[in-house]
Each structure stands twice: as C-alpha cells, then as structure tokens.
C-alpha cells in the first residue's frame, strides 16, 4: 500500500468515527428530549412530639406552684422524669410518692403522673384519695387518648363514687371538682385526674398529663 492509500484509509476511518459520535450524541439528545426538569424525589415528613406531666399544679390567689413537674419535651427521643418521695404545699396539700414522666418519639408521645396518700384543704373543703394517676398518649394521624385512676376519693370525709367517665363533676361550695378531666384533639390529649376549682380563689390539678404530635 502506498502513502496516499494509507492516508486515505486513515481519513475514511476518522470520518466514520466522527459520524458515529455525532449520531450517538443526536440519539441521546432525542431520547432525553422529553425530560425537561429534574425528577423530584419524595421528601420525608417529620412530626414534632410534645408533652408534659406534673403530680401537682396549683394556682392560689394568682400564685402558681407545682410538684414533680417534668417541664416540656424538647423534641424527638427526649424523655423527662420528675419524682419526690413526699411533697407538700403548706396550707394546701400533702402527698407521697409523687412521680411524672413524659417521652417523645418520631410518631408519638406519652405522659403520666401519679401520687399516693393525698390530703388537701382548699377553701375549707377537705379532699383526700389513696391514689391518683393520669396518663395521656398522642399518635400521629389519630385522636389522642388517655385516662385516669382515682382510688378512695372523699370530700369532707364523705366517699365519692368515681364513675370512670370523662369529665365527671362533683359540686362543692363555691366551685367544683372535675374527675378524669379530658381534652382530646387531633394529635393531642390532656388528662387531669382531679381538677379542683374554687372560683376566684384556687385552681388545683392533681395528676396532670399532656401529650401531642404535630
């Protein structure tokens, strides 16, 4: 093969390679021509848990005090606990084995509070119970749930029949006692085992638990 034939052969090969490259680029552009925007991937959604629990929360003449209070949850995977072997608010109440717990996960939250051997004197009205407990749970996409337990409740020494129904009301002089007080919402629940209200004087909650997921 002479020099001219060799050069011709190389030129022909180069032309073929160039043509194939152009065809590949054009074909790829044609295939991708229908895709004008990046493909959007689904984004993960997250929920924020909330909760708080307290064995006692009291407001008397505008002054608020609490016993065994967890404070509010800080977010996912947070857990808080408060406890006291005994606790008292002078002139108002005394109790033993006070405890409160609240915990949050990515899709739910739960809280509970309890105490034993409760003795109260609110505006001259004596209230006692052997055991008081409240619990609340919130689950993403569902209505909150909860309940309470009040054992051997008495007002001025007279036993009170606890029905177990939500928001049972017992009238007292100047106010009322709400037993198993519940406030449910989508993704949230508040339960107060005993809520003693003397209008204009005192607002005392014994066994308070709240949970939410938003």
3-class SS letters over 93-104: EEEEEEEEEEEE
Q: Which domain holds residue 209?
A: 49-213
In a domain, 11, yes or no: no
State pTM to two decimals: 0.78
In a domain, 162, yes or no: yes
- Supply the pLDDT for residue 9: 47
- Supply the pLDDT for residue 119: 98
- Supply the pLDDT for residue 69: 98
Q: Which long-range contacts (CB under 8 A, 24 or more apart) does 101-104 make?
A: 101/53, 101/70, 102/51, 102/52, 102/53, 102/70, 102/73, 102/209, 102/211, 103/51, 103/73, 103/78, 103/79, 104/49, 104/50, 104/51, 104/73, 104/75, 104/76, 104/77, 104/78, 104/79, 104/213
In a domain, 132, yes or no: yes
Residue 25: pLDDT over 60: no
Residue 41: pLDDT over 80: no
In a domain, 145, yes or no: yes
In a domain, 22, yes or no: no
In a domain, 4, yes or no: no
In a domain, 10, yes or no: no
- Supply the pLDDT for residue 214: 86
- Supply the pLDDT for residue 186: 84
Alpha carbons 78 and 10: distance in angstroms, whole number? 73
Total domains in the fold of the chain = 1
In a domain, 12, yes or no: no
């Amino acid at each position: 093969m002479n020099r001219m034939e060799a050069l011709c052969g190389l030129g022909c090969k180069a032309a073929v390679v160039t043509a194939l490259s152009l065809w590949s680029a054009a074909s790829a552009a044609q295939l991708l021509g229908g895709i004008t925007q990046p493909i959007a991937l689904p984004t993960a959604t997250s929920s924020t848990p909330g909760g708080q629990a307290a064995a006692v929360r009291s407001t008397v003449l505008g002054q608020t005090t609490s016993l065994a209070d967890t404070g509010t949850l800080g977010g996912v995977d947070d857990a808080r606990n408060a406890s006291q072997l005994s606790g008292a608010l002078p002139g108002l109440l005394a109790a033993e084995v006070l405890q409160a717990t609240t915990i949050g996960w990515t899709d739910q939250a739960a809280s509970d509070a309890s105490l034993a051997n409760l003795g109260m004197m609110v505006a001259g009205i004596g209230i006692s119970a052997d055991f008081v407990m409240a619990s609340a749970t919130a689950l993403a996409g569902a209505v909150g749930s909860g309940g309470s337990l009040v054992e051997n409740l008495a007002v001025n020494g007279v036993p009170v029949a606890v029905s177990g129904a939500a928001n049972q009301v017992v009238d007292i002089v100047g106010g009322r006692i709400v037993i198993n007080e519940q406030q449910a919402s989508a993704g949230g629940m508040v339960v107060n085992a005993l809520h003693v209200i003397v209008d204009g004087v005192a607002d005392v909650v014994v066994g308070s638990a709240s949970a939410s997921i938003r």
